[in-house]
């Protein structure tokens, strides 16, 4: 299937506008989710060896280490089919408190020779209330094939001084539907969003979400059952300095966050991209080394105590393995799937599972 995709389907998709091709892919995955029996058969066909162990992180179990990063399923329609494609978790979004169209088109551009993408989508989504209503009609927590993460960000029209209130609105609407929830403060495509990574602003934001999460855990649902605390993660930019990362890690610990996602897209323009005149976040192979370096730094700085989801430039099983060796607990793909095809996650999961089961040499 990967060969067929790369030789036959990918050339066709790459003749289309980047965003149109994405929308067709997302619709195809959504349509697959409408056929649960087909999904179950596909899932069984891609099942890992019985000896493969699930991965445990922030109180959840993941059938394999490979997830689909936020950005693909922006409207929470495609995720029910993720397990059929081999994913061990999926993260929807980014969702904002207010519905918004995103930035003007065109806003996504491929660079096949570099296996990269530049996008400036701008959190186009239908808003937290609409997404929450949709999720309420879909498989619930505890009954899903794989964990569902929900990635939330600041609405574009919300001023920076009202950002905390904006995130709290999304949290209150979406937390009941999330197996874990991610605060995105690192997209380069919403004005001033990355300023929320500054120490004082980040402290206020994380403290507010931590308090809301603890308050939620003291409540009961409509059936009278006690709610459970939802794991909270933070997604950071690859453009932070190491002192800035240190400050972020201090805030995560102080505010009882459960993990970190490293990393988002980059504003850097290395090598080939020095003369590319497109604004937005760069993803794909040019980000591979940088994101792995940051994962390694975080792992060492926290003595491996903080679960890390590694994202950025995973195009081979070797790329994924390097991120796990650097300290990541889980990995996520997106741009790699654009270049490798819809069953890339299954291939990665199998190869990482074989790697997990490979006997270590004793001395």
pLDDT in tens, 193-228: 999 999 999 999 999 999 999 999 999 888 888 899
Q: Where are the domains of the chain?
A: 2-356
Instruction: Confirm or deny that 190 is annotated as ligand binding.
Output: no
Predicted confidence (pLDDT) per residue in 81-127, tens digit: 999 999 999 999 999 999 999 999 999 999 999 999 999 999 999 99
pLDDT at 332 over 80: yes
103 is in an annotated binding site: no
User: Is 94 annotated as ligand-binding?
Assistant: yes
Annotated catalytic residue 203: no
Q: Is 73 annotated as a binding-site member? A: yes
284 belongs to an annotated ligand binding site: yes
Q: What is the pLDDT of residues 127-140, one digit of tens each?
A: 999 999 999 999 99
Compute the average pLDDT of residues 25-44: 97
Domain 2-356 has CATH 3.20.20.70: yes
Residue 265 is labelled as binding a ligand: yes
Distance of CA 225 to the CA centre of its chain: 29
pTM attached to this predicted model: 0.96
Catalytic-labelled residue, pool 187, 299, 317, 353: 187
Q: What is the pLDDT confidence band of residue 359, given thresholds at 50, 70 and 90? A: low
Give me the pLDDT at residue 357, please. Answer: 74
């Amino acid at each position: 299937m990967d060969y067929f995709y790369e030789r036959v389907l990918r050339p066709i998709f790459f003749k289309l506008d980047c965003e149109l091709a994405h929308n067709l892919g997302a619709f195809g995955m959504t349509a697959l989710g409408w056929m649960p029996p087909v999904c179950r058969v596909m899932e069984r066909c891609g099942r890992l060896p019985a000896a493969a162990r699930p991965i445990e992180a922030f109180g959840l179990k993941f059938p394999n280490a490979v997830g689909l990063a936020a950005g693909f399923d922006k409207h929470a329609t495609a995720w029910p089919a993720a397990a059929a494609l081999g994913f061990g978790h999926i993260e929807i979004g980014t969702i904002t408190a207010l519905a918004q169209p995103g930035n003007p088109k065109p806003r996504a551009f491929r660079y096949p020779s570099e296996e990269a993408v530049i996008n400036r989508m701008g959190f186009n989504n239908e808003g937290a209330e609409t997404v929450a209503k949709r999720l309420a009609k879909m498989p619930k927590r505890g009954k899903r094939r794989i964990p569902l993460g929900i990635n939330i960000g600041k609405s574009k029209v919300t001023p920076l001084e009202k950002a905390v209130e904006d995130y709290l609105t999304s949290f209150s609407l979406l937390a009941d539907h999330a197996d874990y929830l991610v605060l995105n403060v690192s997209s380069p495509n919403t004005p001033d969003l990355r300023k929320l990574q500054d120490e004082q602003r980040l402290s206020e934001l994380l403290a507010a979400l931590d308090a809301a999460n603890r308050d939620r855990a003291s409540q009961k649902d409509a059936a009278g059952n006690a709610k459970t605390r939802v794991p909270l993660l933070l997604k950071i930019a690859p453009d932070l300095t190491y002192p800035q990362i240190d400050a972020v890690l201090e805030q995560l610990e102080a505010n009882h966050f459960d993990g970190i996602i490293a990393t988002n897209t980059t504003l850097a323009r290395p090598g080939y991209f020095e003369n590319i005149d497109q604004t937005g976040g760069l993803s794909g192979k040019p980000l591979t080394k940088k994101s792995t370096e940051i994962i390694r730094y975080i792992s060492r700085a926290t003595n491996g105590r903080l679960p890390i989801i590694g994202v950025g430039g995973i195009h081979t099983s070797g790329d994924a393995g390097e991120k796990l060796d650097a300290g990541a607990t889980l990995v996520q793909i997106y741009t790699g799937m654009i270049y490798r095809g819809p069953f890339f996650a299954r291939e990665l999961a199998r190869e990482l599972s074989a790697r997990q089961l490979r006997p270590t040499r004793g001395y």
